[in-house]
Structure 1
Amino acid sequence: MTEFPPAARIETVRLTVSQAVVRFLARQYSERDGQRQRLFAGCFGIFGHGNVAGLGQALLQAELDEPGALRYVLGRNEQAVVHTAVGYARARDRLQIWAVSTSVGPGATNMLTGAALATINRLPVLLLPADTFATRSAGPLLQELERPESGDVTVNDAFRPVSRYFDRIWRPEQLPGALLGAMRVLTDPAETGAVTLCFPQDVQAEAFDWPVELFAERTWHVGRPLPEPAALARAVQVLRSARRPLVVAGGGVIYSDATEALAAFAEATGVPVAQTQAGKGALPFDHPRSVGAIGSTGTTAANALAREADVVLGIGTRWQDFTTASHTAFNDPGVRFVNVNVAAMDAAKHAGVTVQADARQTLTALSDALAGWSVEEAYRARTAGLKDAWEATVESAYHPAVPSAGEGGRLTQNEVIGIVNEVSGPRDVVVCAAGSMPGDLHKMWRVRDRKGYHVEYGYSCMGYEIPGGIGVRMASPDRDVFVMLGDAGYLMMPTELVTAVQEGVKIVVVLVQNHGFASIGALSEQLGSQRFGTRYRYRSESGRLDGDVLPVDLAANAASLGVDVLVAKDGPSLAEALRTAKAADRTTVVHVETDPLIDAPSSESWWDVPVSEVSTLQSTQEARTVYEQWKGRQRAFLRPTQP
């Protein structure tokens, strides 16, 4: 009989599963470039019967026994607090994040939209929804989904397709592996997104003897993968062959803190730089090589250069349809792509030369390898001319010859953007997400700081604006945050203003009242649907929603939530209200009415939204003709990359 040496004694501590989770999260750190910080800034949550006695008790115990270890913040809407966590993570370049705890049932599924937003935008957030009983001792439970063909599916399985990592902790023994797997994804720039760990209610409260080493401080190092030499050589070969190259800078440039490296590359080579929504701020607006936004909501300068580009260097972009103008932006028949990205999926798009590496490291390597190479002087001059022409267009939109030329003397949205831009400071942040405002900001906002522009346009989620702005301000307490949104976006999620008041988090909310869906209204008209169903109106005797404007007082609504409210009537009063709000130490909503029928300057670009192929409406028939003309310019990018 084999004799085994006595087993080594493992020191343990007896805690519930929830207490173990909280203690573990409080001891996680991230590090990049020698800068180390707590990985978790805290935990947002709303308690219900599924988590109040589990994670709720654990958070209370931690707050009393170990103050500051894992801060708890009460939110008002589960979706909203995920948005706040995402806004925070983006502002911190994904190096510091939040957890979010909810009850079972509707509390959990309310987070689905937030999870999708986080994963689509490649932003980390840890979701901790409660779940049904592992023992099934009391089933069927309140809020339990019963399926006749399966006994182990709960509503939380809906998180699987919108999470980058998903697990359900049926037994305490499963917890260490699940937590370590979650941390791996949350701290991996290529893999990150929403991470969902589901906790059955009974398991949350179950005690277990945990090895104390589980709770030792653990540092997750966020690396900077170097470009593979052969891939770099291929990229350099293609770039050296270019006569009309263009850089498209995405969010990866900002997350990797590569803006200085990008500026050095652009200055040395003369290559102009266009920016996606997530990449806006990669260069300040007045940098000589910056040609601003690209694509469907781009500048005429960037889009003109895109049409002519023979080589496009995409850095940290996932090539969203708005960026490529639904594959109509790049018209040179021989255009080739070089893609720099930490994510293999994005680096391989458009049949480009794939450089799977960190943006900053790659830009530095490209600058060294291209030393002495530059675009021709004529191309520099063309870039400068296009840039100057667009800046003149923006200036005319900000300061029209006839101010407040909208119906009834109302401001245009262009004027509102201009006034906010000019009142805000160089390091202040503008936050937006959906409606007509993101496109107008993308093309016209004059960004002056790499973190000065925060528009969520991967999911374009109405309601993100206020909670996202709170997250940005919590992450950047030394910056003023200007949240810009329309009435439709405001009505989606105003309740987090209460959270701002509760936490003493100051934001300036610029509430643009245009009595409907300005963005979709304009799109509807463009596509021949005559703004149907996009205006906030009474139902008239005809049975249609075409009566008088609804008497909705959003200023009064905001005031009822505990914030200061200022109402602006024209340009001077708006500027004064914004200066007052900026000087204040608490959240202020600035309400202003605008005319939604006056558009921003054209991008001379397109977005693929199909139009009815047959219709009795002349407006739709005409729109279909235009649609088919644009479809004829659409192309797949499949050309081999060799010169």
Structure 2
Amino acid sequence: MSGARALVEALKREGVEVIFGIPGGAILPVYDVLYDSDIKHILMRHEQCAAHAADGYARASGRVGVCMATSGPGATNLVTGIANAYMDSSPIIAITGQVPRAFIGKDAFQETDIIGITTPITKCNFQVRNAADIPKIVKTAFYIASTGRRGPVLIDLPRDTQLEEAEMNFDEKIELRGYKPTYDPHPLQVEKAVQLLIQAERPVIVAGGGVIASNACSELIALAETLLAPVATTLMGKGAIPEDHPLSLGMLGMHGTVAANYIVQDADVLLAVGMRFSDRSTGNIRAFCPNGKIIHVDIDSSEIGKNIKPHIPIVADAKKALQAIHSHLIEKFKRKERSTWLSRVQELKK
């Protein structure tokens, strides 16, 4: 089987139904196979649009989006869309053509080091050196893109590997020793968070994009209603709680609502879930929530303490963390009226 045919077959096995892209010389062998495939190809006007379309498809469907371009300018035109997907934790696979292996590093026509260019803006990237590796690389790329903190992965295909014939193994299991995403929260950290929330008089929850990505909206609302804690969202977290919910504060930050900004500043305990404390949400970070103790939940350990040092860090999937906190809270929590605190919320929302 040729490398190009192996790529298309591997994509089908990953459940890919649509690819956004633009053909070019260095990726034509794949397009020749794709022509007779069940996978739908949507021809874009520009490669940047292909990357953005794959990103949008991933957000709307919850599946991994796929985009494709040729080498050189085709590959570099994907970069803005890949970077956007990386910053917003959107799972996409970018497939690029490349000059034949013998010409790599020799400034061949439309040769670009797309691996080097995209290293800072992808979770991982691969350059295929042997056609037989294609099934394993595709399976690995989809696994990395769709697990942990989701994000883009790039596969670079030299043209001759697309034409090379090889024995293919589509059933090989992947083992990534250095990649083990953490999903379940540490019980001790959950217990600490629950104790802090029980003691709180002015609790606030801030929901970020991690809540949306984890499909944890119902868990978020259940916890908020148990605590009687108002909920603000980041831009990426919009939709985590209905805007007309009595506990909804709207969006936090420089483009946010008066209620969200004032209430967060007055909180004595802030539960931040799946957010990165960006400048758009915090404003002057030194003055953010000055008297509050912060519990930070995020699936990406590198986000914990990057911008704000939390009192209680929890590395976990948002859904699993919210479930654990809520179940422990119910066992110990005696519901407080919080009439003064919630009255202030309603007053600021007017």
TM-score, with structure 2 as normaliser = 0.90
Q: Which residue identity lines up with residue 319 of structure 2 in the other structure? A: R
Q: How does 1:394-409 map to 2 (within 5 A)?
A: none
Instruction: Name the residue aligned to 1:441.
Output: none
Q: CA deviation at 1:126?
A: 0.5
Cα distance in 1 for partners of 2:211, 2:184 equals 15
Equivalent position SS for 2:222: helix
- In structure 1, the residue matched to 2:342 is 380
Measure the CA separation in 1 of the matches of 2:144 and 2:31: 25
Question: Which residue in the other structure is 1:141 paired with?
Answer: 108
Instruction: Quote the residue 2:46 is aligned against.
Output: 77
The residue type equivalent to 2:51 in the other structure is: V
Q: Is the 8 A contact 2:148 2:183 kept in 1?
A: no
Secondary structure class of the residue paired with 1:246: strand
Alignment partner of 1:364 is 2:319: no
Structure 1 residue corresponding to 2:253, chosen from 281, 295, 320 = 295
Which residue does the alignment assign to 1:88?
57
Matching of residue 48 in structure 1 with residue 34 in structure 2: no
Matched, 1:250 2:199: no
1:326-360: CA deviation from partner (whole Å, max 9, x where unpaired):
4156243x422101122212244422211122222
| Alpha-carbon distance in structure 2 between the residues aligned to 1:356 and 1:331 | 21
Give 1:41's aligned amino acid.
E
Match of 1:339 among 296, 300, 306: 296
Q: How far off is 1:56 after superposition?
A: 0.8
What's the CA shift for 1:77? 0.6
Change (3 A) 1:139 1:253: closer
The answer as to whether partners of 2:50 and 2:68 remain within 8 angstroms in 1 is no
State the 1:276 CA deviation: 0.3
Deviation at 1:300, TM superposition (A): 0.6
CA offset at residue 166 of structure 1?
0.9
Q: Is 1:274 the counterpart of 2:249 in the alignment?
A: no
In the TM superposition, residue 92 of structure 1 has moved relative to its aligned partner by 2.3
Shift of the alpha carbon at 1:88? Answer: 1.2
- Residues 353-412 of structure 1: per-residue CA shift (max 9 Å, x gap): 11122222322322232232436221111111112x2xxxxxxxxxxxxxxxxxxxxxxx
Contact (CA 8 Å) 2:70, 2:96: kept in 1 or not? yes
**1:537-616 equivalent positions in 2, closer than 5 A:** none
Aligned length: 338
1:27 aligns with 2:2: no
Which residues of 2 match residues 410-425 of structure 1 at below 5 A?
Answer: none
SS at match of 2:19: strand
CA distance in 1, matches of 2:59, 2:152: 13
1:17 Cα offset (Å):
0.7
Match of 2:83 in 1: 116
Shift of 1:87: 0.9
How far apart are the structure 2 equivalents of 1:207 and 1:291? 59
Partner of residue 177, structure 2: none
Q: CA shift at 1:132, angstroms?
A: 1.6
Report deviation, 1:296: 1.0
Match of 2:158 in 1: 200
- Which residue is 1:226 aligned to? 184
Matched residue, 2:4 = 18
Q: Which amino acid aligns with 1:319?
A: F
CA drift at 1:55: 1.1
Task: String of CA shifts for 1:306-332, please: whole Å, max 9, x gaps.
Answer: 221121100111211111114156243
Q: Which residue of 1 aligns with 2:273?
A: 315
Distance verdict in 2 for CA 1:224–1:163, change over 3 Å = closer
Displacement of 1:155: 4.5
Q: Could you say if the C-alpha distance between residues 127 and 205 of structure 1 is closer, same or farther in structure 2, counting changes exceeding 3 Å?
A: same
**Distance in 2 between residues matched to 1:81 and 1:276, nearest whole Å:** 27
- In 2, Cα distance between the equivalents of 1:296 and 1:376? 27
Q: Distance in 2 between matches of 1:113 and 1:234?
A: 41
Give yes or no for contact 2:232–2:248 (8 Å, CA) kept in 1. yes
Larger radius of gyration: 1
Q: Against the structure 1 CA distance between its residues 363 and 21, is the aligned structure 2 distance closer, same or farther, given a 3 Å change threshold?
A: same
What SS does structure 2 have at the residue aligned with 1:351? coil
Gaps of 5+ in 2: 174-180
CA distance in 1, matches of 2:202, 2:104: 69
SS state of the match for residue 213, structure 1?
Answer: coil
Give the 3 Å change call, closer, same or farther, for CA 138–264 of structure 1 in structure 2: closer
Tell me how far apart the structure 1 counterparts of residues 169 and 199 of structure 2 sit (CA, whole Å): 59
Identity of aligned residues (%): 31
SS at structure 1 position matched to 2:25: coil
Are residues 326 and 178 of structure 1, via their aligned partners in 2, closer, same or farther at CA, if it must alter by over 3 Å? farther
Q: Is the 8 A contact 1:269 1:375 kept in 2?
A: no
Structure 1 CA distance for aligned equivalents of residues 203 and 104 of structure 2: 65
Question: 2:5, 2:42 → 1: CA distance?
Answer: 17
More helix by share: 2
Unmatched segments (≥5 aa) in structure 1: 1-14, 29-37, 63-67, 146-153, 216-222, 390-643
Distance 1:281 1:207, change over 3 A: same
Q: Are 2:141 and 1:179 aligned? A: no
Q: Secondary structure at the match of 2:20?
A: strand
Return closer, same or farther for 1:138/1:381 CA change in 2, 3 Å cut-off: closer
> In the aligned structure 2, how far is the partner of 1:113 from the partner of 1:375?
49
Secondary structure at 2:264 match in 1: helix
- Relative to structure 1, the CA distance from residue 348 to residue 233 in structure 2 (aligned partners, 3 Å threshold; closer, same or farther) is farther
Do the aligned partners of residues 272 and 103 (structure 1) sit closer, same or farther apart at CA in structure 2, a change above 3 Å counting? same
> Partners of 1:269 and 1:202 in 2: how far apart?
60
Check if 1:60 corresponds to 2:35.
yes
**Which one-letter code corresponds to 1:26 in the other structure?**
K
Shift of 1:156: 4.4
User: What is the CA RMSD across the aligned residues, in angstroms?
Assistant: 2.2
After superposition, the C-alpha distances for 1:221-254 in whole angstroms (9 at most, x for unaligned) are: xx99332210101111222222222111011112
Q: Distance in 1 between matches of 2:125 and 2:88?
A: 17
**Residue by residue, what CA displacement relative to the aligned partner does 1:23-42 show, whole Å, maximum 9, x if unpaired?**
011012xxxxxxxxx3x232
Tell me, in whole angstroms, the C-alpha distance in 1 between the residues paired with 2:86 and 2:125.
12
Q: What SS is found at the alignment partner of 1:51?
A: helix
Q: Counterparts of 2:263 and 2:253 in 1: how far apart (Å)?
A: 11
TM-superposed deviation, 1:133: 1.3
CA 279–212 in structure 1, closer or farther in 2 if over 3 Å, else same = closer
Q: After TM superposition, give the deviation of residue 189 of structure 1 in Å.
A: 3.2
Measured in 2, the distance between the counterparts of 1:187 and 1:87 equals: 15
